[in-house]
Chains A and B, each alone.
Chain A
Amino acid sequence: MSNTDQEKWYSKLFDASLPILATLAALIVGAVMLLLLKVDPIEAYKAMWEGAFGSKNALAETLVKATPLLLVGLGICISFRGDVINIGGEGQMIVGAILGTLVGITLVDWSGWIVIPVALLVGFAGGAIWGGIPGVLKAYFNVNEILSTVMMNAIAVQLMNFLLRGPMIDPSQAELASKIPQTARLIDAFRLPRWAPTRLHLGALIAVVLAVLVYILLWRTSWGYRIRAVGQNPHASKYAGIKVKNYVVLALVLSGAFAGLAGAMQVYGVNFRMITDGSASGFTGSAGFNGIVAALFGQLHPIGTIPASILFGALLVGANKMQRVVQVPSALITALNGLVVVFVVSSEIWRRKRQKRRMAATAPGGEGIFPAETEITEKPDNEEVGS
């Protein structure tokens, strides 16, 4: 037995190193791009490192950026494990933020102890609704969730623009000619506690706690078990008596809910109001997309997503510093994030090869709950084995 334990330990290390290698590859490509832009890559990356980790404040900013990535990423872990691809994080964040903000700007006479939790829960629910619609469309009308979530993003942006220019506009802005599309500012009592003097807020801690809860949900409850079963093999799940459609909807509802919470938390922890520049990323900072990157990087494991989010938070914060020091637009980081995604999903091939070899080495049929459908289910799911 010790032999297989050793094998497991070794292959886990190998699996964990793949994303790191993928990032290194992306950074090398980035270095080539920097050289082409006639910028010293070492200087640029040094500026990034200092921007992300160089001081207490830099580190706090990194964690502030990492928080929405982690929350969105947790939702992605749930949906992708259920073989549901949720691209709608941006829209779900926006709707969660809108509803969460509404709580804070209407219940001004209430205590912060009530308003903050209620607002975060309302944001959670808002994201759940915005994710649930594509879920129902997929389960009952066979509409591809990738497309519907993208459409829902576009609709959410326009909804935000409409509300912030009209019904929800800051009353003081409504009187001015400039009419900046923003809501009223939350009163001080409604702000999440901060680790002064930095901007690091309680939300970061909440997100980490939720990561543990999502881990328990996915691997220690029957809901989570069924979501993963449906993701691995919908046909076998159906035969096993699982109501597949319900779990498809549930996966998207939960996935949307975490993004919605991320949106509300940006308002209560960072900005204290909603403001729009007309685009989705103007509010979300593209966390709805980058959360996908973080979750993939964390191998769709809630705990793995924690360091992954910090890494990508660091890249985003570091990019700003790099922009100031060596005048390289932070758009470089968006491009590199894209490459990381491509490299990570491409490197899956080596993990699958190893897994296949391991399966061949152990007793036939001894692995997993369902008959292996290696051709179709190519999801990273090695924790499944033997747990």
Chain B
Amino acid sequence: MISDLLSMTVLVGILTSGIRLATPYLYAAIGETFGQRSGVLNLGVDGQMLLGAFAAFYVAITTGNLWLGVLSAMIIGGLMGLAMAFVTVNLHAEQGISGIGFYLFGLGLSDLLFQKLLGTVETVKGFRKVFIPVLSDLPVVGEIFFRQNILVYIAFALVPIAWFILNKTTLGLKIRAVGENPEAADSLGVSVARIRYFTIILGGTLSGVAGASLSIALLNVFQQNMTSGLGFIAVALVYFGAWRPWGVLAGALLFSLVNSLQLWIQVLGIPIPSDIAVMMPYILTILVLVATVSRVRAPSALTKSFGHDD
């Protein structure tokens, strides 16, 4: 049965679903990268994702418009980001703990709304696969990369865009400066508060899309706590990727491929207990954190609030 894993169809299957599964991690982790590069650790990602997933699903199922669903996920995620920004920037609240608070809030509220507004698990017709002309006809590669839904393509396109913004634009320079040395950035006339508001709201917006990608593109259902901690993994991927978009991409792919492998192991009935297989990505993440984190340096001002209380 192990040999089944090595057949071409299965390999293509593992890679195809691996690419697909990377989507929510990419949105959330790229968003979190912006926040952390500006010095803010947002641990509420999972809560933002859950609210985004619910908003997208609810709007999509009531209006039939998937893009309206994505938009509402962005708005609710952005609002959560706004609240997080106010609390951490203006009130100087401890970032890690307030993030946990926002996580619990999102977890509870999405569950509450789900039970009150929907009640039962339903399915929605999510985003369909978009076959990229010509490229999708390529053997193997076409099937793996170019027959995915639109949210998958956008997620991967975000990586070079985020890299470009962070490294090649003035905005990116300001973000990095605020995360490394807020006092210096401030003395040069950069508004630390404004930059952090921007990155936290952007992060929330992208977390909202990450949730939407689960509920109306990958799984096409909403359930309570459907992310089951995916948002926390996304935060880990930022560390894993050493605060660089390409590193985050590598981490997301590694994580999602191991996940996809684990799913296929179950599908093929290979006698590894599924619970043990599900454990693998988490163990892998810890191991990779051990291997990488001690070598790279986090943004100097990460988790530190800037300015005085009064």
Contact B97 A341 (CB under 8 A): yes
Q: Which of B93, B115, B116, B235 contacts A147 (CB 8 A)?
A: B235
> What 19 new A-B contacts, CB under 8 Å, besides A143-B294, A342-B93, A346-B91?
A85-B96, A143-B290, A147-B235, A147-B239, A154-B282, A158-B279, A165-B275, A293-B104, A329-B115, A334-B107, A334-B108, A335-B106, A338-B102, A345-B97, A345-B101, A346-B98, A349-B91, A375-B304, A378-B94
Q: Which of A87, A147, A338 contacts B289 (CB 8 A)?
A: A147
Task: List which B109-162 residues lie within 8 A (CB) of chain A.
Answer: 109, 111-112, 115-116
Nearest-CB residue, chain B, relative to A90: B229
Nearest-CB residue, chain B, relative to A37: B116
Size category of the binding interface on chain A: 35 or more
Q: Which of B105, B224, B278, B285 contacts A158 (CB 8 A)?
A: B278
Q: Whole-angstrom distance between the alpha carbons of A209 and B103 in the complex?
A: 32
Q: Whole-angstrom distance between the alpha carbons of A152 and B279 in the complex?
A: 10
Does B305 interact with chain A (Cβ within 8 Å)? Answer: yes
Task: List which B276-308 residues lie within 8 A (CB) of chain A.
Answer: 276, 278-279, 282-283, 285-286, 289-290, 293-294, 304-305
Nearest-CB residue, chain B, relative to A161: B275
Q: What would be 18 A-B contacts, judged by CB atoms less than 8 Å apart?
A: A85-B96, A87-B100, A141-B290, A141-B293, A143-B286, A146-B96, A151-B283, A165-B273, A292-B97, A331-B112, A331-B115, A334-B104, A334-B111, A338-B104, A338-B105, A338-B106, A341-B98, A349-B92
Q: Which of A293, A296, A353 contacts B309 (CB 8 A)?
A: A353
Across-interface contacts of A339 in B (CB, < 8 A): 101, 105
Residues of B at the A interface (CB closer than 8 Å) are: 43, 47, 83, 87, 91-94, 96-98, 100-109, 111-112, 115-116, 224-225, 228-229, 232-233, 235-236, 239, 273, 275-276, 278-279, 282-283, 285-286, 289-290, 293-294, 304-305, 309-310
Q: Whole-angstrom distance between the alpha carbons of A335 and B107 in the complex?
A: 7
Does A359 interact with chain B (Cβ within 8 Å)? Answer: no
Q: Which of A154, A337, A376 contacts B279 (CB 8 A)?
A: A154
Contact B282 A331 (CB under 8 A): no
Contact B290 A137 (CB under 8 A): yes
Across-interface contacts of B285 in A (CB, < 8 A): 147, 151
- Min CB distance B24 to A, Å, is 16
Across-interface contacts of B283 in A (CB, < 8 A): 151, 155
- Min CB distance B237 to A, Å, is 10
- Min CB distance A344 to B, Å, is 8
Q: Whole-angstrom distance between the alpha carbons of A352 and B92 in the complex?
A: 10
- Min CB distance B274 to A, Å, is 8
Contact A85 B97 (CB under 8 A): yes
Task: List which A337-365 residues lie within 8 A (CB) of chain B.
Answer: 337-342, 345-346, 348-349, 352-353, 356
Across-interface contacts of B102 in A (CB, < 8 A): 338, 342
Contact B112 A158 (CB under 8 A): no
